[in-house]
Amino acid sequence: MKKEIIINISGLESKPAAMFIQKASNYKSNVWIEKGERKANAKSLLGLLSLGIGKGSKIMLIAEGEDEAEALNELENYLISGLEESV
């Protein structure tokens, strides 16, 4: 479980969300993002978009499963990089 602050201009919406989902889907672990009282499957575009994660949003990244440590590390690096396409 890791806390993150979204730093890119558009937050985790549309294209950045789709790219995040693509990365999260590479793992066998269940991956969740929690914002406030709400929690969504990080492998679901509708789920992520429903959270309304904008710039400056504070989220919790959660992974549960056999490759959870690897998933958390890569996804955290992606989030703190500013959601750049090259990462």
CATH of the domain at 48: 3.30.1340.10
Q: How many domains does the chain have?
A: 1
In a domain, 72, yes or no: yes
In this prediction, residue 87 carries a pLDDT of 37
pTM of this structure: 0.81
In a domain, 59, yes or no: yes
In a domain, 86, yes or no: no
Q: pLDDT tens, 42-80?
A: 999 999 999 998 888 888 999 999 999 999 999 988 887
- The arrangement of strands across the sheet holding 2-5 comes to 2-5, 58-64, 30-35, 38-41
> Where in the sequence is the domain holding 14, given as residue range(s)?
2-80
End-to-end CA distance of the chain: 21
